[in-house]
Amino acid sequence: MAERVLMKGNEAIAEAAIRAGCRHYFGYPITPQTEVAAYMAKKMPKIGGVFLQAESEIASINMVYGAAAAGMRVMTSSSSPGISLKSEGLSYIAGSDVPAFVVNVQRGGPGLGGIQPSQSDYFQATKGGGHGDYRMIVLAPASVQEMASLTIKGFNLADKYLMTAMILADGTIGQMMEPITFEEAAIETYDKPWALTGTKMGRKHNIVSSLYLKSDELERKNFERYERYKVVEENEVMYEQYMMEDAEICVAAFGIASRVAKNAVAQARREGVKVGLIRPITLWPFPKAVLRQAADQVKSFVCVELNMGQMIEDVRLATECRRPVSLCNRTGGMIPSPEQVLSSIREAQKGVN
Amino acid sequence: MKTTQILIAGFGGQGILFAGKFLAYKGLLEDLQVSWLPSYGPEMRGGTANCNVILSEESVGSPIITNPDVLIAMNLPSLQKYVDAVVPGGQIYVDATLIGEKVGRDDVAVFYIPATQMANEAGVPTLANMVMMGHVLKNHPELTFEGTEETVAKLVPPQKAQLVELNMKALQAGRDYQ
């Protein structure tokens, strides 16, 4: 077995990306994700890769667009305000159906906000920060090990479905160190006959563009794209269940919030409260079916988030409002304590009895 | 030991994060589950720094510590800030060179170590943090002093190998303090 090493979450992303075959990184520094860029700056030149600190976030996302159009495994990383700047590019990438890998290590917002951890970009990531009808695959790691494994997964999914895969992490998971093992990366390779690699006078020109001035053609593109998204929704949902077998209350939380929630669930179980946890790992596609199923079993849901209540809307949609869903939250860089979650669980329990 | 939550706090520049890394690596090498979470805000630049380390036989839940089992305070503001958060029956380690006050609780074990002075006397003036760590190891036999050199070697870049010896000197001074 590979050696267990201690690594920061941000570094784990960078190392995993290299192992996934990424040789092009374009970025612009911002706390709390700068270690991704720093790691790439150190490693890329040694392995024949490209590290480029662009003049802005907008430039870096367009460099990603360019390298992706050329069929390269390419990435960028940023934090909340930087992702807002990149959102125009993300829309163009989606409209051109090229694969890209993007990391958002979230900090508190809106605006410049703060630099402490947050989950307040859930809407932006899952509903589209850019314009137009499009989706991104959104992966929410809850540990340093998952920062690595979901990075490798993200590159594979982006290539498979010709779309952006985004890691939606937060300052805590980016900055913390945990033991991690790097197993042999399972790299999936897909032919990219659409890539701009030069015709060598042997084939027709490829065109990568998001511009379709004929309405019927644009509509057809959109319908086709959503057929592909449907396949993603059918095949790529990921989630974790914890103590759900006999649960009467279901806590829903992702990323760092799910770790706090897990502590609270374990404590509540010791007090005899029948509570479990569903942790979405893919935020899009959202694990609707398992939540819908849980709604038949449990009497109440508690959503734990580091925002004013964003994923809670998807929980209510998925459960078709069959059960009450309450919110347990902190914002601005604050993180709920297990005790706060525990008291929300106890509140929910009152409603059950 | 099931789970030990350790909070190390002091000024930026005192090696708070390094001390935390040392404990985390020590735990890792003893096959424990560990997490290390630094403060990364603007406060660490010249202000207060702190670091949460969790060592556990089970997988670590939340990496954020609200009520530490062990507090290592390297300056007065840190002691004042966290003294009441320590769980009853917990431990508080105080750098007695920099902190003149006594801990006003009788439900915790308190260790006063003149770490900054000891580090100066041992000729390693920047390693008061590791003097403290030496004393922590003494009181946590499950972490054993064995393998300490290996742990330090993991943390020091190879081109600065001479630092291993200096760190060991500080650790031993802390361990041997009565």
> For B33-70, how does the pLDDT look when each residue is reduced to its tens digit (9 = 90+)?
999 999 877 665 567 889 999 999 988 989 999 999 99
**Domain range enclosing B152:** 3-176
Please, which pLDDT band fits residue B145 given cuts at 50, 70 and 90? confident
**What residues 50-69 of chain B have any CB closer than 8 A to a CB of chain A?**
60-64, 66
The domains found in chain A, sorted by start residue, are: 5-235 (3.40.50.970), 239-352 (3.40.50.920)
Distances (CA, A) of B51 to A307, B38, B81, B157: 24, 4, 14, 21
**DSSP helix/strand/coil, B134:** helix
Half-sphere exposure of A48 (CA within 13 A, CB side): 1
Which candidate from A116, A177, A259 shows the least CB-CB separation from B36? A177
The one-letter code for the residue type at A87 is S
Q: Which residues of B39-61 are buried (b: 16+ CB within 10 A; e: fewer)?
A: bbbeebeeebbbbbbbbbeeebb
d(CA A277, CA A244): 6
| pLDDT higher than 60, residue B1 | no
pLDDT for res B48: 80
pLDDT for res B13: 87
pLDDT in tens, B118-130: 999 999 999 999 9
Which candidate from A31, A116, A178 shows the least CB-CB separation from B35? A178
Which candidate from B34, B41, B64 shows the least CB-CB separation from A260? B64
User: pTM for the whole thing?
Assistant: 0.95
In the sheet with A137-139, reading across from the earlier edge strand, the strands are A50-53, A24-27, A74-78, A100-106, A164-170, A137-139, A282-284
Number of structural domains found in chain B: 1
Which candidate from B24, B25, B63 shows the least CB-CB separation from A259? B63
B68 neighbourhood in chain A, CB within 8 Å: none
| pLDDT averaged per 10 residues, chain A (length 353) | 89 97 97 96 98 98 98 98 98 98 97 95 95 98 98 98 98 96 90 96 95 98 98 98 98 97 96 97 98 97 98 98 97 94 95 72
pLDDT for res B47: 73
pLDDT for res B158: 87
Residue in A closest to B66 by C-alpha: A337
pLDDT for res B116: 97
**A179 to chain B nearest CA, in Å?**
7
Query: Could you tell me whether strands A50-53 and A24-27 are parallel, antiparallel, or unpaired per DSSP bridges?
Result: parallel
> Among A8-12, A227-231, B144-148, B167-171, whose mean pLDDT is lowest?
B144-148
Angle at A28 between CA A285 and CA A13, to 5 degrees: 50
Kindly compute the dihedral angle of the four CA atoms of residues A179, B51, A337, A138, in this order, to the nearest 10 degrees. -50
pLDDT for res A3: 86
ipTM over the 0.90 cut-off? yes
A175 to B40: CB separation less than 8 angstroms, yes or no: yes
**Count of A–B CB contacts within 8 Å?**
58
pLDDT for res A352: 72
CATH code of the domain in which B146 resides: 3.40.920.10
Q: Does B46 touch chain A (CB under 8 A)?
A: no
Q: Does B172 touch chain A (CB under 8 A)?
A: no
